[in-house]
Chains A and B, each alone.
Chain A
Amino acid sequence: MVTEMAETVQRARGDEEPAAPDAPRRDPATEGTALPSRGIAVGVEGLSAFYGPHQAIADIDLTFAKSTVSAIIGPSGCGKSTLLRCLNRMHETTPGAHATGRVAIGGVDAYAAHTDPVEIRSMVGMVFQKPNPFPMMSVYENVAAGPRLRGWRMSRGQMDELVERNLRRAALWDEVKDKLGRSGAALSGGQQQRLCIARALATDPAVLLMDEPASALDPIATYRIEELVRELSREVAIIIVTHNMQQASRVSEQTAFMLAAEDGVGRLIEFGRTDQIFTTPKDERTEAYITGRFG
């Protein structure tokens, strides 16, 4: 297992040549073939996470493929959000929280002793459950926030171009191009969430984590987010946590099902292609969950 992990790290490192900022990550040679051959965006091995003395997830092993939407589903309290937050080391920003195990992203072991969490978060974008644009920043500044917070040196023209490109990627440009100077908080909820997606994309992450990104939105806004997720997955690996099984089946190609045992510790029950998980689950607990017998 450990050697496999080293290979994962190695391969990921090889794949992560610094590309032109907006170059598509898709590899034409492997397109359309089975999932694993697209390469691994995030490898997780033996991951456990704790809040103080309480263990939230235990021994998670799985790999998220590149150019793929992967869904993490499971009932409340199964640790799916915790797993997601471990991937970019946001978990430990909760006071008292820590994690052990290995997470390979972009050729780096996120939990190695010398790894700077800031470096990991730089490679990973994150979209939260509740839209959280910076209220004191304009629409424009929200998108520019990532590059500016990272200290990227850019001319005004380059920044204009970056902001427009990422607002287009988030399918928001046409709605906000005349109000770039307005506060991000003045947009509708769905627009705010797409603004947050544009903000996360602006630093060109290899992986985009989404923590129930549509659960605070109405059905139309949700539909637009889902459409966007499918669209974006051609360029960036997307890992989405969702309560909504229909959503998981609509947007994702891979699905991980998690469940908390009696001890309250969340574990990975089953991981595979979404159509397989939803039609022929291997584990009876997965079947019970997706057929609505609990959760």
Chain B
Amino acid sequence: MTVAVRSMALAVVPARHRVAPRRRIAERLAVGLLALATLAAVALLVIILSYVVARGLPAIDLAFFTQRPRPFGEVGGGVQPAIVGTVALAAISGAIAIPIGIAAAIFVVEYRTGRYAAPVRFAAELIAGLPSIVIGVFVWALLVRGLIGSFAGLAGAVALAVIMVPIVARTVEEVLRLVPMSLREAALALGAPKWKVILRVVLPTARAGVVTAAVLALARSAGETAPLLLTALGNEFFSLDLLRPIDALPLRIYRYAISPYDDWHTKAWGASLVLVVVIGLIAALLRVVARQRVR
């Protein structure tokens, strides 16, 4: 269609007004390079995903989801405690971090005339820049050695929450800035107090973006390993006691991947596949929820 239009235009345009050949070549080259870069990015994703699927699929059977890990030397068993543990950690850390992150973003965007907004944003940036192992060490010192006194699922959830808060805060901040001022004005002019304007107009307008922020943070934290090594520790047995060690998929992948057994290597791939699928499912689910809007 565009090609046809272009050639028709060329037919009537005198030669001196045509696009210079050099410029056309430069344009083709630039578009070609962009396409190549896009292809590389997509190809990388496809390669990683297909490799994980190819290596992980043999490990997947019903037992993989329903049984706990077997001891050394025994073949079989599954990663059920790790799946349950990852879901539990995500739920608890999300419940802690998402409200805090959203609240911080609201504070920074909606109350930006206040003099605390800039320091808050700076602090969020600093936390986002901290290596996750450092957060793990900090939570280990504070909770594992201190308040709780043992490796504990709760400590893992707190460590993950610390990682999630700045991600949620920064992403939600960007999204809130996209909400037009005219909508805030309309709501204020209707006689709504500011907090209601934020809760009933600004946040609903930004809902899709807020959900994306939550998904982003959950996905990031679900894959974190280093802080969990020092907090949740891992557990071969099924446990939902938050004050005891709890297993998680990244921990299980790590344990199995560094082991010398072929069966465990396969299980590490299987666990990787499950982790990718779990994150994908969380994202898909939240997107469906976010899409329930007025047509």
Interface residues of A (CB under 8 A from B): 88, 90, 93, 95-96, 118-119, 121-126, 128, 130, 132, 134-138, 141, 145-146, 148-150, 181-183, 196, 199-200, 203
Contact = CB atoms under 8 A, between A and B. Distances in A.
12 contacts: A118-B191, A121-B188, A126-B189, A128-B182, A128-B189, A130-B182, A137-B294, A138-B294, A145-B187, A149-B196, A149-B200, A182-B294
Interface in B123-182: 180, 182
| Interface of A, helix, strand, loop or mixed by DSSP | mixed
B205 interface: yes
Contacts of B294: 136-138, 141, 181-183
Interface of B: 112-113, 180, 182-193, 196-197, 200-201, 204-205, 207, 293-295
A132 B180 contact: yes
B190 A149 contact: yes
B77 to A, nearest CB: 48
Contacts of B192: 118, 146, 149-150
A90 B191 contact: no
Contact of B205 (A93, A123, A135, A148): A135
Nearest first, the 8 closest Cβ-Cβ pairs linking A and B are A122-B191, A149-B192, A126-B189, A132-B182, A146-B190, A121-B191, A183-B294, A132-B186
A93 B193 CA distance: 12
Given A95-B112, A130-B182, A137-B294, A146 B201 contact: no
B182 A121 contact: no
Contact of B190 (A130, A145, A181): A145
B112 A93 contact: no
Nearest to A184: B294
Contacts of A137: 294
B182 to A, nearest CB: 4
A134 B182 contact: no
A98 B39 CA distance: 54
Nearest to B204: A136
Contacts of A88: 189
Given A135-B205, A183-B294, A200 B182 contact: no
A138 to B, nearest CB: 5
User: Counting chain B CB atoms within 10 Å of each CB, which of A96, A132, A150 scores highest?
Assistant: A132
Nearest to B206: A136
B224 to A, nearest CB: 33
B257 to A, nearest CB: 45
Contacts of A141: 294
Contacts of A128: 182, 185-186, 189
A292 to B, nearest CB: 31
A128 B294 CA distance: 23
Contact of A134 (B112, B113, B201): B201
